[in-house]
Amino acid sequence: MPLGMAVETVGLGRRFGRRWALAEVTLTVARGQRVMLTGRNGSGKTTLLRVLASLLSPDRGSVRVCGGDVVQDREAVRHHVALLGHYSGHYEALTALQNLQVAARFLGQDASREAIRARLDQFGLAARADDAVSTFSAGMRKRLALARTMMQPATVVLLDEPYGELDVDGFALVDGLLESMRAEGRTVLMSTHLLERGRELCEHAVALEAGRLTWAGPSADMPQHSAWSERQRGAA
Amino acid sequence: MNELWAALGKDLLLQWRTRTQAVAVFVFGAAALLLFSFASGPAAELLRRQAAGFLWLGLMLCSTLALADSFQSESEQRAMEALLLLPASARALYYGKALANWVQLALLGVALVPLMVVLYDAGTRRVVPLFGVILLGSAGLSAPGTLYAGMTAQMRARQTLLPLLLFPLVVPVLLSSVKATSLILTGDPMGQARSWTTLLAAFDLIYWSLCGVVFPKVVEE
């Protein structure tokens, strides 16, 4: 693996039953890069992020994150990776504060009420700190999931549609987080359908189609003429 | 060790926040004990002799509900997956949950004892040994039960599969628990209760050791 590579996949294939969700995906991401991952629904974006997070094992090819193999060195890889997935990963019965306290205790961080409230305040949830997550809206759950993801001192951050369900303030929150991660030198892979926004925030882009990598390069050079890309811009 | 405490704290907190479910499980157990007494008929001596068996059958039936519930909150929003990515050790997560389930099942067993005494006229002054057997027996249900509840949590037929997988495995625990409890309730002139209790403790040791090794393979894909 070349020095400085945060992510390298070679011939990655992953199937569910008889259907290949990813096929022959070869991709390299340098450390500190911000990469936008685009593609239609079902094109394999979430599967790719889950493989990189070591939650799914590849059926073919190899996947290395920060030099570690996602199957052989799973534990080591997880010290470098944080994933914001489609599921919030929270306990519905616990309050927002308790959920972050649980994460802080596992991470060996300050789990005091004051410290966690300060973090919730950063994500606009301080007023609802003592409410059960089951009473939260989808956007609030996403904010809480973002708060937990950002607690991890990960060098590679995987964001699966981070703007989904968020309001305008939430969009600004995610933009700010991406900026701060760039300043910290973290690597970010972000799947999104918001092509223009992604182009502004990420230097590189990767497009998937039916599980295959169809384009990779600087996001400014990304083809803008495909019918799908036009539709995405229209929707955004 | 810190992770184990974090996991145990998390599971005890979850149990406290969802304590109405524990009350429902207790009511289910109480109903089962009541139905067993109806099914056996009014013969007082027969009821007294079968009291230990009914108590453990009731607790075993309750355990499938309590154990399945304990993974409901993990699978709703894939919370355990999020913890594994922190990264938390799968083994610590297992032992934390198994210990919390043990506490819940032991309390449930202790809470069912007064009902057993009333319904089956099976009182005893040997309360400490009786609670000791309940502690050991519930440990024998909790360790494999937590493992199988974790295995079946994502499956559609989990409510059927959990007892199907668990019950055959815990037959030795059931047998030794019933025998030890029965000897405590009806008298133990030959001093056999100690042997059954030792056997029960041995099975506990095996289950708690093996299940902790197997669980990480179960939760990882």
pLDDT computed for residue B221 by the predictor: 66
pLDDT category of residue B213 using cuts at 50, 70 and 90: very high
State the alpha helices, DSSP H only, in chain A: 45-52, 74-80, 96-107, 113-122, 138-151, 168-183, 195-201, 227-235
Whether B221 and chain A come into contact, CB under 8 Å, resolves to yes
Whether A16 and chain B come into contact, CB under 8 Å, resolves to no
> Stretch B118-126: mean pLDDT, rounded?
87
Selecting from B6, B79, B85 the residue whose C-beta is nearest the C-beta of A91 gives B79
Contacts of B77 in chain A (CB under 8 A): 87-92
Segment B137-175, tens digit of pLDDT: 999 999 999 999 999 988 888 888 999 999 999 999 999
Measured distance CA(A123)–CA(A149) in Å, rounded = 12
pLDDT category of residue B117 using cuts at 50, 70 and 90: very high
Does the distance separating the beta carbons of B88 and A55 come in below 8 Å?
no
Q: Which residue of B has its CA nearest to A93?
A: B17
Give the start-to-end residue ranges of the domains of chain A: 5-91+154-235
Length of chain B: 221
For chain B, the straight-line distance linking the first and the last C-alpha, in angstroms and rounded, comes to 25
Contacts of A83 in chain B (CB under 8 A): 85
pLDDT computed for residue A1 by the predictor: 45
pLDDT computed for residue B26 by the predictor: 96
Nearest to B65 by CA among B139, B155, B160: B160
Domain A5-91+154-235 is of which CATH architecture? Answer: 3-Layer(aba) Sandwich (3.40)
Select the residue from B86, B89, B220, B221 to test the A interface by mutation, using most A Cβ atoms within 10 A.
B86
User: How many independent structural domains does chain B possess?
Assistant: 1
- Considering chain B, what percentage of its residues have pLDDT values greater than 70? 100
This complex has an ipTM of 0.88
Provide the residue range defining the domain that includes B103. Answer: 2-219
Any idea of the CA torsion for A71, A77, A81, A87, to the nearest 10 degrees? 30
Selecting from B6, B18, B81 the residue whose C-beta is nearest the C-beta of A105 gives B6
pLDDT computed for residue B41 by the predictor: 82
Measured distance CA(A44)–CA(A22) in Å, rounded = 6
Any idea of the CA torsion for A6, A20, B218, A144, to the nearest 10 degrees? 60
Contacts of A52 in chain B (CB under 8 A): none
Residue B57: count other Cβ atoms within 10 Å of its Cβ: 17
Contact residues, A window 62-91, toward B, CB-based 8 Å cutoff: 74-75, 78-79, 81-83, 85, 87-91
User: Cα–Cα distances in Å, from A33 out to A4, A205, B17?
Assistant: 10, 10, 42
Query: Alpha-carbon Rg of chain A, whole angstroms?
Result: 18
pLDDT by 10s per residue, chain A, length 236? 444 699 999 999 999 999 999 999 999 999 999 999 999 999 999 999 999 999 999 999 999 999 999 999 999 999 999 999 999 999 999 999 999 999 999 999 999 999 999 999 999 999 999 999 999 999 999 999 999 999 999 999 999 999 999 999 999 999 999 999 999 999 999 999 999 898 989 999 999 999 999 999 999 888 865 545 555 555 54
